[in-house]
Every structure is written in C-alpha cells, then in structure tokens.
C-alpha cells in the first residue's frame, strides 16, 4: 500500500487485513476513494444517518467521525460507515469509505466485485494450470493468460458441440494424455477407457460459455 501510485478519483477496495487509518488517509489525500471492511470494535461518533432501503440488504448508512484521539490523528476527516447483509452468503458486512456520493448499495457491490476478482484469480490457478510465466513483462503475462483462457474455452466449445458427456476437467485430462494419438477426437472419447476423475469443487465461480 505504501508504493501504490494512487490515481485521482479511482476506487481502491481492501479487505480487513489491510485496514490502516494513516494509509487510508493517504488515499483520500490523493483525491481517490477507498472501500474497506471495517473492524467491529472500532469507535465512532455518528454525525447523521442517511435513509436506506433495508430490502436491498443495507442495514444502515452513517456519516461518522473517529472518536479516539489516536485514530482521529491518523484520519481527521469524516467517514461513511455502511452495514450490509449479504443474503447469498448469509453474513453481515461492515464497510468504511470516504465516498459520499455513491449509494450504500453501490459501495457494497464494489466490495462484492472485488471478491469476484479474487475468485477469478483462484479459478485461473485451479483450471488453467499456469505453473510459471514464460515472461515477466505485462504483455508476456497477458498473452500467456489469454492463450490459456482461449484454450480452455475451445475445450468447452468442443465438449458442447460434440456432446461429450464428460466435464471440461476430464476432457482436458484425456486430451493431455492423447496429444500424439491420431484417433478423431469424438472417437477418442467414445472409445476411451479413461476412468472418471473427480474434478475439484470450485463452485464459488461459474463461467457461462453458452
């Protein structure tokens, strides 16, 4: 966080492990915005509350100021505290942000999208089998990831069009051990005695291709 070149009016979304008032104030001083999971035991003075639609999951939307001398010294400006109930995950989340313009629901969705990015990174690691990068430049990394995603999508399309009754994981396994086999692809799967392999359960992220 100390070396990130913060951009004007950009949003930076952090988990609770990165909570630090002085660093958050540095983001605000660059005219940028942050959304961070707040710790439950933090002490605030409520200035006023905004109206909320509880049916959206937002429990409250408050404008607050830190109440202890130490924390107030690190972050002397007003903050916005939002409590949100995530019905899908059945959990309550508490957010702090310095953005006073977006709706409380939009703030919650920003954090939710951050989690989707993490799930996508996890999906890349678990499905694309990228064990190391051939190059270290941004362009080299992008090309390798794009190539791996394209390959994965082609396998998914192959399985769909040929009506191969196997998971993408199994199709990849069969093709991986049959690269030099001259048997047509459809026959390869109808004749294959490849035992079903249990695909790891990665239900947190679903990618729809069709």
The domain ranges of the chain are 11-108, 128-191
Question: What is the predicted pLDDT for the residue at 7?
Answer: 93
Tell me the two tokens of residue 31.
Answer: 């005219």
Rounded to whole angstroms, what are the CA distances from 72 to 28, 62, 79, 155? 14, 17, 11, 55
- Span 65-75, average pLDDT: 90
Question: What is the predicted pLDDT for the residue at 29?
Answer: 93
Question: What is the predicted pLDDT for the residue at 201?
Answer: 47
Write out pLDDT tens, residues 2-34: 888 899 999 999 888 888 899 999 999 999 999
Question: What is the predicted pLDDT for the residue at 192?
Answer: 53
Q: Which residue has the higher pLDDT, 143 or 175?
A: 143
Write out pLDDT tens, residues 161-202: 888 877 777 787 787 777 777 777 777 776 655 555 455 444
Q: Contact at 8 Å (CB) between 175 and 158?
A: no
Backbone angles phi, psi at 83, to 5 degrees: -105, 130
Q: What is the pTM of this model?
A: 0.65
Angle between helices 138-161 and 104-127 (to 10 degrees): 80
Tell me the two tokens of residue 157.
Answer: 């399309």
Residue 209 predicted with pLDDT over 50: no
Nearest to 149 by CA among 176, 167, 125: 125
């Amino acid at each position: 966080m100390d070396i990130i070149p913060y951009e004007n009016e950009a949003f930076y979304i952090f988990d609770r492990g990165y909570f630090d008032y002085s660093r958050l104030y540095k983001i605000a001083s660059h005219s940028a915005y942050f959304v961070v999971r707040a710790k439950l035991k933090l002490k605030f003075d409520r200035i006023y509350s905004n109206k909320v639609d509880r049916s959206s999951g937002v429990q409250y939307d408050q404008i607050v100021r830190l109440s202890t001398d130490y924390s107030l010294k690190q972050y002397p400006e007003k903050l916005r505290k939002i409590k949100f109930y995530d019905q899908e995950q059945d959990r309550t989340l508490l957010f702090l942000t310095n953005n006073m313009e977006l709706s409380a629901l939009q703030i919650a969705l920003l954090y939710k999208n951050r989690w989707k990015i993490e799930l996508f990174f996890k999906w890349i690691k678990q499905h694309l089998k990228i064990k190391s990068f051939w190059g270290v430049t941004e362009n080299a990394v992008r090309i390798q990831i794009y190539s791996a995603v394209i390959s994965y999508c082609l396998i998914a399309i192959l399985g769909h069009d040929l009506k191969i009754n196997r998971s993408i994981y199994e199709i990849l396994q069969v093709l991986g051990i049959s690269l030099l086999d001259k048997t047509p692809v459809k026959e390869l799967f109808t004749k294959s005695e490849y035992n079903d392999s249990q695909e790891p359960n990665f239900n947190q992220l679903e990618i729809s291709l069709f």
